[in-house]
Amino acid sequence: MMLDEDVELLEGLPIAHIKSINSIVVADMHLGYEGAMAGEGAFLPKVNLKEICREVKEGIARSGAERVIVDGDIKSEFSKVSVDELNELHGFASFLEKEGVMPVLVKGNHDNFVDRYRGAFRMEIYGGHAEIGEYLFLHGDKEPASIKRRTRMVVMGHEHPAITISTALGRREKVKCFLYGRYRGKGLLVLPAIGYFSTGMDVGAAGHGMLSPILRRGGIGSMHAIACAYGSTIDFGKVSDLRGKI
């Protein structure tokens, strides 16, 4: 699905493709999640990295992108880099290397201490934000101090947006979604979390508080929720129209 002439949401994937900079963007991978959970006594099968690689690979194949931008929270733990994270970061970096694409990380609030592996993983790492082409990439946990005039769109993660739809007999089904709207006169695209175990926060629920100060500022009522699941990507319309109805 094309957002505009330059930005495409790859059908059925939580991935955006930006033609002018020949990149695909993903957010909130939370590598090392299963390892962290095992430390708390939940021995989850390890599928997160595998599934992310599968989706990114498909994204690369479909878009022909040369660069993969991770818009924050590539890993899971706040306070350290655990062994599991290190292994999976390494696994992800080698996967991208094999695919012949360049990794870029815009650090999120979970990404402390990754800088020390910058060299080893040949990863380009940005602290708070990255300006690439006409796009401003940031994780979304803080508001940007300023936005350059030439920036046409802000791309962020952090929020893990999703919508929950009630179907028959009160059953509810949650699907990940993008949010797309305006922010300080620019376009704003919020990516869903690509992480396997991150099912997302229901933005359609009334009274739902936003995590990101960027979204808190203007509210998300006028933003479009664009769901991606079951191999399709469909615009469900404005969040304010969905609230309390779905």
Partner 1 sequence: MIKKARTPYTEEESLEVLNGYVREWFVENFKGLTPPQRYSFKLISEGKNVIIAAPTGSGKTMSAFLSIISRLFQKSIDGTLEDKIYCIYVSPLRALNNDIYRNLMRPLDEIYESIRREKGLEIMQGSVHKVTIGVRTGDTTPRERAKMLVKPPNILVTTPESLAILINSEKFSENMKSLEFLIIDELHELASNKRGVHLSLSVERLGEMIGHDFVRVGLGATLYPLEEAARFLAGYSGGRERDCIIVDASWSKKLDLIAVSPSADMIYTDEKVVEELMYAELNRIISSSRTTLVFTNTRSGTERVVFNLKNRFKYGDEIVAHHGSLSRGIRFDVEEMLKKGEVKCAVSSTSLELGVDIGMIDNVVQIGSPKSVTRALQRIGRAGHSYKATAKGEVIVLNRDDLVECAIMLYAALNRHLDSFNTPRNALDVLAQHVVGMSLTGRWKVDEALEVVRRAHPFHTLKEEEFLSVLNYLAGSYVELESKKVYGKIWYDEKEGVFGKRGKMAKVIYMLNLGTIPDSVSVDVFTGDKKRIGSIEEEFLGNLKQGDIFALGGKLYSFDHASELRCYVSEAKTRTPTIPPWFSEQLPLSYELAVAIGNFRERLSDALSGYNKKHGISRMAMEMEIPDEASAILDMLPIDAKAKEAIFRYFEEQLLFAGTVPNDKLMLIEQTKDTTGTNYLIFHALYGRRVNDAMSRMAAIAMSDLLKIDVGVLVNDNGFVLTTEKEAQMDEKIVKGVMERITSENIFPVLKANIRRTELMRRKFRHVAARSFMVLKNYKGWRATVRRQQINAQLLLKAAEEIDPDFPVIRETYREIFEDMMDLPKARDTLRMLKGKVIRYKFIKTPSPSPFSHMMITFGHADVVLMKDRQERLQYLHRLVMSRIGKEMERRVARHDA
Answer for which of 53, 165, 186, 211 binds partner 1 (CB under 8 A) is: 165
Answer for which of 22, 87, 109, 112 binds partner 1 (CB under 8 A) is: 87
CA pair distance 178, 160, nearest whole angstrom: 9
Token pair, residue 238, equals 């404005």
Token pair, residue 151, equals 């920036």
The nearest distance, CB 230 to partner 1, in angstroms, is 4
Which 33-52 residues touch partner 1, going by CB under 8 A?
A: 35, 37-47, 50-51
User: H or E element: which one contains 138?
Assistant: strand 135-138
Answer for which of 89, 196, 210, 220 binds partner 1 (CB under 8 A) is: 196
Please tell me whether residue 173 binds partner 1 under the rule CB under 8 A. yes
Please tell me whether residue 236 binds partner 1 under the rule CB under 8 A. yes
Please tell me whether residue 197 binds partner 1 under the rule CB under 8 A. yes
The nearest distance, CB 168 to partner 1, in angstroms, is 4
Select from 241, 107, 236 the least CA-distant residue to 179. Answer: 236
CA pair distance 105, 25, nearest whole angstrom: 10
Token pair, residue 81, equals 């880099």
Please tell me whether residue 234 binds partner 1 under the rule CB under 8 A. yes
CA angle 151, 208, 142 (to 5 degrees): 35
CA pair distance 118, 54, nearest whole angstrom: 23
Interface positions with partner 1 (CB under 8 A): 35, 37-47, 50-51, 83-84, 87, 165-171, 173, 175, 196-197, 199, 201-202, 205-208, 227, 229-234, 236-237, 241-242, 244-246
